[in-house]
Structure 1
C-alpha cells in the first residue's frame, strides 16, 4: 500500500509524457536540444524541430519562434508542432534571461539575432525561406533579428505583440518588418500598452496599427494589405481570446500557420491551417503534471517507511472539538487576504530591484507579497487563537523527507526532459528542470520561501485540526482556503474583461496573468499540508516540501534581470507594469 501512490504517479507521468512526445514528433518530426553562443558570448538554448526527409540534402523552410516574458520555449509548442508537422524546420528559442539561456532580459537583442543566424546556418534549412514569430515580449527577439538581418527572413507574425515596444520607436512604419501578420486577441489585456488602443476590439482603429499598415482608415481584419512580393504585405487577425490564450488556442495558432504557409515556400507536407493536433500534447503534459503531484505525495509516503524516517509518523491531534466562529473567521481571512493584498504588494515588491544575489525581479515581487502575508498569518493566529495545537517536531527527519519527496519529482522531470524533450505543464503552469546556472539562484531564495511556507502551513494545520472532521472535507477546506481567494480574483477580473473589454484593474495586466497559476499551485499547497500533517501530526514536513516546491517552480520559470556579463535591463513591458 505504501508504494501505491508513487506507482500511480509514475504511471501517469510516463503515459502523459509519452503522449506529449508522440504528438510533438507526429509525422516523423525529430525534436532535439539546441545550444549556441552569441558573438558576445551569451549561451542561448532552444528546441529544434526537424521534419523527416531532409537527410538527402533537401532543404526546408524554417521558422524561428519566441515566447513572451517569464515564459520558456515550451510555451510555443502549439506553433512548433503545427509548423513542423507541415514540413517547416522550427527553432523554439529561450530568450536571454529565460529558461536555459544565459544573460538577462533584453541582452544581445533578447538572443534573437543569434537565433536567426543559428537557424539559417543549419544544412537542412533554406536560408532564403525563413519566417519569424513571437508572442508578447517574444516580439523583441523577432524584431531584433529582423533589424540585424534585413535580408535574412521573408515573413513575420507578431502574436499579442507590437513593433516599437521592445525596440526603437522607428519600427512603427509600413515597410518594417517584412510581410507582417498581426495576431491580437480581441480580449488581450495589453491592448493599451502594445498598440495604445483602449481595448483589443478597438485595435482596427488604432493610429499605431494604421501607421504599420500604411493606411489612414480602419484596418479590416482578415484582409491582406500591401504586396507580398515587395515585402509590404500586412494582415490583422483579431480572434476573441485573451493574451495568454493567444498561444493556447486555435484562434492564435491558425493565422500564424496560415501566414507562414502562404509566405514561405517548400514545406514538405502542406495541410489546412485548421488541421491541428497540438492540444493532445497539452493533454499529455497535463496528465504528467497531475502525475508529478501524485508522485510527490507518494514519495513522502514511501519516505516514512524508510529506516529512521519512520519516527516521523504520528496520528494527528485535534486542537479543538469544533470549529467555532473564530476558526471560521480565521479560515475566511486566510483565504481572502492573500488575494486581496496580491496586487498592492506586487507593486510594492517592484521596488526590490534585481541584484547578483536576487536576480529575478518577479520573484522578488512575489516574495514581498509572500512575506507580508506571513506576517498577516501570524497576526491572525494571535488574535483568533482557539486552542493550542500540539504538533510533533523533528527538524532533521522532516528535512530529509521533504528533500526525498521533491527530489523524486525533480528526477522524473529531468528524465522526461532529457529523453523526450517534454516537461510537466498546462497552459500558464509549467515545471521545468533547474539548470546549473539557476541552482545558486534557487538556494539564495529558498530560505525566504521556507520562512513563508513553514509559518503559513503551520497556521493552516492549526485551523484544520478539528476533532471528527472527515478526511475529504479537510482536503477540500485546505484547497479552497489556499486557492479560493485567487480563484475569486480571477473570476472577478475576467468576468469584467469579457463583459467590458477591460480588466477590473486594467493597469495590472501582467500581475493578473501571473496570478492565474497560483490558483492550482496554492490549492495543491493546501493538499500537501493536509497529507503530511495527517501522517506526522506536524506542519514542518509539509512546510518544507512546499518551500522546495514553490522555490523550484518560480526560479526555473522566472526571468533573470541581472547577470555578471550584462548590465541590468528594464524592458518597457516590465518598466510599465
Structure 2
C-alpha cells in the first residue's frame, strides 16, 4: 500500500515545494501580487497581475511599469521583468494582451489592449502617474505602441525587447507613436531579425536603415550610446546582447537593460539595485519543480485509482509482442522519432490554411492539429506497410475514459489551488500550463476529439512497435526518446546554424520556437504512455490522459484569433 501511495505523495510534495518557492521569490521584500480583471475597449475584458512594492500607497505613490508578453504567451511570461522591477520599488502591471490568457477579444484587437491597460494602471491609487514606463517583448510592442499613441504624455519611457514600433501592423493595428525615451533590446541571435528590422542577422541590427531612422542617424547605431535628449523625451539607446529571441525575456542579459533604463528614466523607486542583481530565475525553478510534481501526481493518481474496486478490472500486465530489438524494431524506432520532426515545419506551414473559425478559434492550435492528424494518417499507412506481430491489447473504453478524466481532474485541481493561493502556475521558460477559464474550456471541448484521435493512433503504434517482452524501466527512456528525439535533432540543427551563421537553417522562426516545447511535452507523453500501459496492457488510458493534458496545455497558452465580435485581420487583405 505504501508503494501505491508514494508517487502521489511525491507529486504533492513537489508541487507544494515548488509553488511555495515561486511565491516566495515573486513576493520578496514584501511585494504583493494581485490577479485583476478590468474593462477593455469595445466591451472586452483584460486580465493582469499587479505587483505592488511595500510602502506604495495613495499617500506615497510609486513609479510604475506596464509590461506585456509576446505572441502566444501570457502575462506570466514577463515575470522576470515584473519581479525585478517590483523588488526595486516599481508597481508593475503585467497584462494578458487581447486574445491571450484571460483577456477577451482577438489578437491585435483594440491596439492589443494597450490603451485600456495604461488607463487602468494610471487609475491605481498606489501609482505615481507622472512616472510610468512601458515595456513589451516581441508582439508585446503592440500594446506599448497602442498605449503610447492613446496617451502621448501619459508615460515617460519605454523598452522594446526583440520588437519594433511597427510590430502592431502584423495584426492590423494602425497605432503609431514616437516612443518617448526608448531603449531597444535586440538579441544578437534574434530569430526574427528580418521581420523586425529587415536585416539578415540580429547582430546586424545596428545597420538597419529603419533603426537608424528611428535613432535619427544615417550611420550604424553605436550600442550603449544614448542618442537624443532624455529631458526632451527623445532619447534612444540600443542593447544588442548575444541572446536569442526567447532569451530576451529569460536571461540576465535581456532583463538587465530594461531594469537599468527604467531606473534611469523614472523617479522614486524605493530600492534601487544593480541591474544584474537578479533573483527571478528561482521563481522559474520553483514553477519547474511544480510542473514536474504535476507529472508525478498524474502518475500517482492513476496508480491509486487502479486500486479502487471499479477500476481494478483495468489492471493487467503489459503483453507486448516483440521478443528482441531486431531490425524491424530499430526501423520502427527511427520512424517514430523522425517522421513527426521531419513533417513538423512543412505541416505547420500548410496548417495556416486551417483558418480560425467558430469552434476552432486558435490559429496556432489549428496548425498543430494539421500536423498531428497528418502524422496519425502517416502512422496508419505505415502500419499497413510494415507488417509486424500484433500485441493483444486489453480495451475497456468506459473505464479508460473515466480513469483518464479523474486523473487529469486531480492534476487540474492542484493547479487551480496553487493559482488561487499563490498566483503561480506550472511553467519554465517557453513551457507554461495555466488553469482554463470558462471561454477556454469551451475551446478545449471542441479541440479535444481531434487531439484524442491523434493520441489513440500514436500511442497504439508506440506500444505495438516498440513494446518488448521482459523490458524493465528502460522502457520509459525508450518511449520518451522515441517521442522527442526527432525534435531534439531538428532544434539542434536549427540552432547550430543560428549560432554558427546568425540565421536558422530553415527560415521558420516562430514554429522553431514553438517546437522547443515539444521536447519536454513529448517526453512526458512517452512516460505517461509507458506507465499506464505497463499497468493495464492498454494504450487507451494513456492516450486519453495525454489528449486531455495536451489539449489543456495548448488551449490555455495559445492566442485566440476569432470571436463573434471581431473579424480576423490578415495582412495584405482589404
**Fold shared by both chains (TM-score > 0.5):** yes
* Structure 1 residue 385 displacement after superposition: 2.5
Q: Which residue of 2 aligns with 1:54?
A: 56
Q: Which residue of 2 aligns with 1:368?
A: 370
Q: Which residue of 1 aligns with 2:479?
A: 478
Question: Are residue 519 (structure 1) and residue 524 (structure 2) matched?
Answer: no
Equivalent-residue separation in structure 1 for 2:178 and 2:41 (angstroms): 25
Conserved? CA contact 1:330–1:380, under 8 Å? no
| Number of aligned positions between the proteins | 569
Q: Which residue of 2 aligns with 1:497?
A: 498
Equivalent-residue separation in structure 2 for 1:159 and 1:189 (angstroms): 13
Deviates more, 1:232-241 or 1:460-469: 460-469
* Structure 1 residue 40 displacement after superposition: 1.3
* Structure 1 residue 171 displacement after superposition: 7.7
Q: Which residue of 2 aligns with 1:80?
A: 82
What is the 5 A alignment of 1:212-223? Answer: 212-223=214-225
Equivalent-residue separation in structure 1 for 2:338 and 2:58 (angstroms): 62
Equivalent-residue separation in structure 1 for 2:111 and 2:41 (angstroms): 12
* Structure 1 residue 303 displacement after superposition: 1.1
Equivalent-residue separation in structure 2 for 1:146 and 1:242 (angstroms): 27
**1:136 equivalent among 135, 138, 152:** 138
Q: Which residue of 2 aligns with 1:530?
A: 530
Deviates more, 1:323-332 or 1:397-406: 323-332
Conserved? CA contact 2:37–2:47, under 8 Å? yes
Equivalent-residue separation in structure 1 for 2:384 and 2:470 (angstroms): 24
Equivalent-residue separation in structure 2 for 1:78 and 1:570 (angstroms): 32
Equivalent-residue separation in structure 1 for 2:27 and 2:571 (angstroms): 35
Q: Which residue of 2 aligns with 1:559?
A: 559
Equivalent-residue separation in structure 2 for 1:417 and 1:551 (angstroms): 19
What is the 5 A alignment of 1:456-467? Answer: 456-467=458-469
**1:437 equivalent among 439, 458, 464:** 439
- CA change 1:86–1:445 in 2 (3 A) is same
**1:274 equivalent among 276, 279, 299:** 276
Conserved? CA contact 1:20–1:282, under 8 Å? yes
* Structure 1 residue 169 displacement after superposition: 10
* Structure 1 residue 570 displacement after superposition: 3.6
What is the 5 A alignment of 1:193-212? Answer: 193-212=195-214
Equivalent-residue separation in structure 1 for 2:442 and 2:173 (angstroms): 37
Conserved? CA contact 2:57–2:127, under 8 Å? no
Q: Which residue of 1 aligns with 2:296?
A: 294
Cα deviation, 1:285-331, whole Å, max 9, x if unaligned, reads 11001101100111110110112001100011121222321221111
Equivalent-residue separation in structure 2 for 1:56 and 1:346 (angstroms): 50
Conserved? CA contact 2:162–2:187, under 8 Å? yes
Conserved? CA contact 1:446–1:551, under 8 Å? yes
**2:307 equivalent among 292, 305, 308:** 305
Conserved? CA contact 1:163–1:171, under 8 Å? no
**2:383 equivalent among 358, 381, 384:** 381
Equivalent-residue separation in structure 1 for 2:322 and 2:6 (angstroms): 32
* Structure 1 residue 423 displacement after superposition: 0.5
Conserved? CA contact 2:187–2:248, under 8 Å? yes
Equivalent-residue separation in structure 1 for 2:167 and 2:553 (angstroms): 29
Equivalent-residue separation in structure 2 for 1:468 and 1:308 (angstroms): 28
Q: Which residue of 2 aligns with 1:487?
A: 488
Equivalent-residue separation in structure 2 for 1:363 and 1:316 (angstroms): 33
Conserved? CA contact 1:326–1:385, under 8 Å? no
Secondary structure of the structure 2 residue equivalent to 1:115: helix
Equivalent-residue separation in structure 2 for 1:308 and 1:323 (angstroms): 37
Query: Structure 2: which 5+ runs fail to align?
Result: none
Equivalent-residue separation in structure 2 for 1:434 and 1:423 (angstroms): 12
Q: Which residue of 1 aligns with 2:32?
A: 30
Q: Which residue of 1 aligns with 2:541?
A: 541
- CA change 1:394–1:243 in 2 (3 A) is same
* Structure 1 residue 468 displacement after superposition: 2.3
Question: Are residue 224 (structure 1) and residue 226 (structure 2) matched?
Answer: yes
What is the 5 A alignment of 1:71-470? Answer: 71-167=73-169, 176-470=178-472
* Structure 1 residue 386 displacement after superposition: 1.6
Conserved? CA contact 2:156–2:265, under 8 Å? yes
Equivalent-residue separation in structure 2 for 1:320 and 1:191 (angstroms): 49
Divergent runs of 4+, >3 A: 167-172
Equivalent-residue separation in structure 1 for 2:226 and 2:87 (angstroms): 26
Conserved? CA contact 1:157–1:180, under 8 Å? yes
Equivalent-residue separation in structure 2 for 1:373 and 1:404 (angstroms): 28
Equivalent-residue separation in structure 2 for 1:199 and 1:440 (angstroms): 41
Q: Which residue of 2 aligns with 1:6?
A: 8
Equivalent-residue separation in structure 2 for 1:28 and 1:471 (angstroms): 46
Question: Are residue 509 (structure 1) and residue 509 (structure 2) matched?
Answer: yes
TM-score w.r.t. the length of structure 2 is: 0.97
Q: Give the RMSD, CA atoms, in angstroms.
A: 1.4
Equivalent-residue separation in structure 1 for 2:485 and 2:99 (angstroms): 32
TM-score w.r.t. the length of structure 1 is: 0.97
Q: Which residue of 2 aligns with 1:550?
A: 550
Equivalent-residue separation in structure 2 for 1:107 and 1:170 (angstroms): 11
Equivalent-residue separation in structure 2 for 1:571 and 1:307 (angstroms): 58
Query: Structure 1: which 5+ runs fail to align?
Result: none
Secondary structure of the structure 2 residue equivalent to 1:306: coil
Equivalent-residue separation in structure 2 for 1:170 and 1:379 (angstroms): 48
Cα deviation, 1:463-513, whole Å, max 9, x if unaligned, reads 2321222222x111100010000010010000000000000112x100000
